[in-house]
Amino acid sequence: MANLQEKNISADQAQIEDGTPGQNLTLAKERDDKSLLSSPSGIDGEAALRRTFAIISHPDAGKTTLTEKFLLYSGQVAEAGAVKARAGRRNVTSDWMDLERQRGISITSTVLQFRYRSHVVNLLDTPGHRDFSEDTYRVLAAVDSAIMVLDVAKGIEAQTLKLFEVCAAREIPILTFINKYDRPGKDILELLDEIEKQIGLRPTPVTWPLGIAGDFRGVIDRRNNSYIRYIKSARGSKEALEDVMDFEDVKNLDPVLYENTQNELALLDAVGATFDQQSFLAGKTTPLFVGSALTNFGVQHILDAVIDIAPAPAPREDTLGQKRKLSDPFSGFVFKIQANMDPSHRDHVAFVRVCSGRFERGMTVTHHQSQKLFATKYVTSVFGNDRSTIDIAYPGDVIGLVNAGDLSIGDSLYEAVPVSYPPIPSFAPELFSRVESKDTAKYKQFKKGLEQMSREGVIQLYHDLEPVPNPIIAAVGQMQFEVFSYRLANEFKAPVEIIASKYKLLRRSNEASVKILGNTSGVKIVKDKNGTFLVLFESQYWLSHVTKEYPELLLEPLTI
Ligand code: G4P
């Protein structure tokens, strides 16, 4: 108790429930970073202090809870609960969020920025539903690393496997957090196997649990063989206390547990499942941490890892394969467009990841795609639905350009020295539908809504080759169509009918090939917004038939 009082923490705050605290009880505190002493200054120095990452997880695995605890540990909120409270308020103030509330899902991404250990952390939220995998993929284009949160009881679930696959496909460094270890769950070794087999990422545990899920005793930090005892705190509204001792001490406390754990650790060593910075940065292995976000246990371990091992922003390759230096003039690309965040204004915010230079509000930048100049008078950062103006930003930061109606996903912006970043690839859609305006008097609004939502990436939009081209919308998941239809009716006041199409597969083609195809049965030829020809097939049967009949045709699958 003396220890607690010295640190000015009341016992009921800490809610210690299982035994007397050990000698080394400490409270997680912001500490100075020695590494900063040798950091470069200027833009390079600012970039080195940044960590830009996303959390990806199945719905309910604990993403919101972990986010909230990150804010608690960074001192951003005094008590956990703020994020959910904001989320609740948001639902009240925005009619667009009705849909999220009805479906109990998160559609829109938010960007949080906070300081931790003298670093600037940018946390980009991602939708946790497989139907919005494409949105997740775009967010992943804007981050330097990601945390994958898994519920220990559920592991990797089939319906959200796609989210993790896209993450692994981008080869960005992924940290794994096995959450809810305070509750019964799967065997941890089984989970490691699942991660490796299903997403092809090799887990390298940094912390390792003592006791099975539901009988959580603490973790071993494999970097220094210390044992951090699990101390329950009531719903973890305050930072957790940590009781640290040597792993060898466990031998006296619980010889059986010690031996079991030692055997597991020996197994990990034997199979080489040990943290390796190089393969982590290459997106081949994933450092793994175990904890319970609800009770705060393990939160600091993973947040520290973001600072200590996750990469800072690095120079980005442009379309020519040249790397633009961090210290070059400002440049960035649009990875997300969000409309109607403020229902009273019906506005349109383009989120830009800064890749180089120092951004200053008010500067005039060039929009590469149109070569038009763009004045950056209104620039916002977003926390839930709250906004504040951004004046300055550095590589790794995200800026929200308000009313940037001409910008599309993947577009590049720059100051002074031109640059264009590679486009963010579209997903191979799995669903196709025709779409008709229910009210012919609303045709203008219907067209406007279609185009805007295609630019925002809510759906993919094609047109057939009829004299008056009919729109065909495509998506990865059904819910994208629901969002599309809801927004057309509510935002654009143009209710639509969505009619499922008989086409199931899509291949990229060219003019010469589609001329040969002509009116072949089982296929439909469409064009995307860039004028690229695409061929839709009713089934695998028709695709195989056409490929056999016309082997010379260009029929490329979309890769993602
Ligand atoms: P999500 O954003 O990934 O969808 O998940 P979220 O954080 O909302 O967590 C989903 C549920 O899991 C919540 O319970 C949350 O309290 C619980 N949870 C999160 N982390 C842990 C953990 O480490 N241990 C345990 N036992 N539970 C955890 P809920 O009942 O849906 O909401 P609430 O009433 O607790 O707010």
The CB of 106 under 6 Å from ligand 1? The reply is no
Among candidates 137, 283, 265, 280, which has minimal Cα distance to 199?
A: 283
Atom of ligand 1 nearest to the CA of 291: 23
* 218 vs 210: CA distance, rounded Å: 5
| Per-residue pLDDT at 46 | 94
Residue 478: pLDDT band with limits 50, 70, 90: confident
What is the residue extent of each domain of the chain? 1-44+313-424, 53-108+122-308, 431-549
| Per-residue pLDDT at 311 | 97
| Per-residue pLDDT at 432 | 94
pLDDT over 90 (residue 433): yes
Which residue would you say has higher pLDDT here, 442 or 204?
204
pLDDT over 90 (residue 301): yes
57 alpha carbon – ligand 1 mean position (Å): 12
Domain 53-108+122-308 class, CATH top level: alpha beta
Residue 77: pLDDT band with limits 50, 70, 90: low
Atom of ligand 1 nearest to the CA of 66: 7
* 63 vs 177: CA distance, rounded Å: 10
Among candidates 472, 474, 456, which has minimal Cα distance to 526?
A: 472
pLDDT over 80 (residue 329): yes
What mean pLDDT is predicted for residues 182-210? 94
| Per-residue pLDDT at 465 | 87
Contact 264, 242 (CB under 8 A): no
What mean pLDDT is predicted for residues 545-550? 89
Q: Give the long-range contacts of residues 13-19, CB within 8 A, separation 24 or more.
A: 13/238, 14/231, 14/233, 14/238, 14/241, 15/232, 15/233, 15/234, 16/231, 16/232, 16/233, 16/241, 17/231, 17/232, 18/230, 18/231, 18/232
Q: Minimum mean pLDDT among 6-20, 239-253, 319-333, 364-378: which range?
A: 6-20
pLDDT over 70 (residue 203): yes
| Per-residue pLDDT at 13 | 34
306 alpha carbon – ligand 1 mean position (Å): 22
* 363 vs 202: CA distance, rounded Å: 44
Q: Minimum mean pLDDT among 29-43, 48-62, 311-325, 472-486: which range?
A: 29-43
* 64 vs 81: CA distance, rounded Å: 10
| Per-residue pLDDT at 358 | 95
Q: For a pocket test of ligand 1, which of 123, 183, 215, 294 has the largest count of ligand atoms closer than 8 A to its C-beta?
A: 294
Atom 25 of ligand 1, residue of closest alpha carbon: 180
Residue 413: pLDDT band with limits 50, 70, 90: very high
Q: Tens digits of per-residue pLDDT, 150-170?
A: 999 999 987 667 777 777 777
pLDDT over 80 (residue 429): yes
pLDDT over 50 (residue 419): yes
User: Which tokens hold the place of 553?
Assistant: 């045709």
The CB of 273 under 6 Å from ligand 1? The reply is no
Please work out, in degrees rounded to the nearest 5, the angle formed at the alpha carbon of residue 195 by the alpha carbons of 235 and 229.
35
Strand positions, DSSP E, 58-137: 111-116, 119-124
The CB of 294 under 6 Å from ligand 1? The reply is yes
| Per-residue pLDDT at 110 | 62
Q: Tens digits of per-residue pLDDT, 27-46?
A: 444 444 555 555 567 999 99
pLDDT over 60 (residue 4): no
Q: Tens digits of per-residue pLDDT, 268-284?
A: 999 999 999 999 999 99
128 alpha carbon – ligand 1 mean position (Å): 14
60 alpha carbon – ligand 1 mean position (Å): 6
Indicate the CATH number of 431-549 among 3.30.70.3280, 3.40.50.10440, 3.40.50.2300, 3.10.129.10: 3.30.70.3280
| The most confident of 41-50, 99-108, 424-433, 450-459, by mean pLDDT | 41-50
Among candidates 444, 471, 454, which has minimal Cα distance to 527?
A: 471
Q: What is the DSSP-derived secondary structure letter of residue 96?
A: G
Contact 93, 116 (CB under 8 A): no
**What percent of the chain lies above the pLDDT cut of 90?**
43
Atom 30 of ligand 1, residue of closest alpha carbon: 60
The CB of 64 under 6 Å from ligand 1? The reply is yes
* 396 vs 315: CA distance, rounded Å: 10
Indicate the CATH number of 1-44+313-424 among 3.40.50.80, 3.40.50.300, 3.40.50.970, 2.40.30.10: 3.40.50.300
| Per-residue pLDDT at 384 | 45
Atom 36 of ligand 1, residue of closest alpha carbon: 84
The CB of 233 under 6 Å from ligand 1? The reply is no
Atom of ligand 1 nearest to the CA of 183: 26
115 alpha carbon – ligand 1 mean position (Å): 24
The CB of 160 under 6 Å from ligand 1? The reply is no
| Per-residue pLDDT at 81 | 54
* 479 vs 322: CA distance, rounded Å: 38
310 alpha carbon – ligand 1 mean position (Å): 25
* 164 vs 228: CA distance, rounded Å: 29
Atom of ligand 1 nearest to the CA of 179: 23
What mean pLDDT is predicted for residues 295-316? 94
The CB of 525 under 6 Å from ligand 1? The reply is no
234 alpha carbon – ligand 1 mean position (Å): 14
Which residue would you say has higher pLDDT here, 491 or 316?
316
> Residue 197: CB partners within 8 Å, gap ≥ 6?
none
DSSP 310-343: SPPP-PEE-TTSPEEPTTSSPEEEEEEEEE-SST
Atom 28 of ligand 1, residue of closest alpha carbon: 294
pLDDT over 60 (residue 395): yes
| Positive or negative torsion for Cα 114, 116, 118, 119 | negative
* 555 vs 475: CA distance, rounded Å: 20
**What percent of the chain lies above the pLDDT cut of 70?**
81
The CB of 62 under 6 Å from ligand 1? The reply is yes
What mean pLDDT is predicted for residues 204-216? 93
Identical fold for domains 53-108+122-308 and 431-549, yes or no, is: no
What mean pLDDT is predicted for residues 225-232? 86
In angstroms, the Cα distances linking 75 to 113, 239, 283, 398, 449 are 12, 10, 30, 21, 41
Residue type, 539: S
> Residue 196: CB partners within 8 Å, gap ≥ 6?
202, 203
Q: Tens digits of per-residue pLDDT, 98-125?
A: 545 554 444 444 678 889 999 999 998 7
59 alpha carbon – ligand 1 mean position (Å): 10
Contact 399, 354 (CB under 8 A): yes
Which residue would you say has higher pLDDT here, 78 or 195?
195
Q: How high is the mean pLDDT of the chain?
A: 82
| Per-residue pLDDT at 309 | 96
The CB of 61 under 6 Å from ligand 1? The reply is yes
Strand partners, 146: 54, 174
Q: What is the 3-state secondary structure (H, E, C) of 112-128?
A: EEEEECCEEEEEECCCC
Helix-strand-coil percent breakdown of the chain, rounded to 5?
A: 30, 30, 40
| Per-residue pLDDT at 401 | 87
> Residue 95: CB partners within 8 Å, gap ≥ 6?
343, 490
Q: Tens digits of per-residue pLDDT, 495-524?
A: 999 998 999 999 999 998 888 887 788 889
User: Which three-class secondary structure state does DSSP give residue 534?
Assistant: strand
Residue 195: pLDDT band with limits 50, 70, 90: very high
The CB of 180 under 6 Å from ligand 1? The reply is yes
Atom of ligand 1 nearest to the CA of 59: 4
Among candidates 527, 531, 409, which has minimal Cα distance to 472?
A: 527
| Positive or negative torsion for Cα 124, 128, 129, 133 | positive
The CB of 59 under 6 Å from ligand 1? The reply is yes
Residue bearing tokens 């390759």: 317
Given phi > 0 = left and psi -120 to 50 = alpha, else beta, which region is 62? left
Residue bearing tokens 């943290």: 275
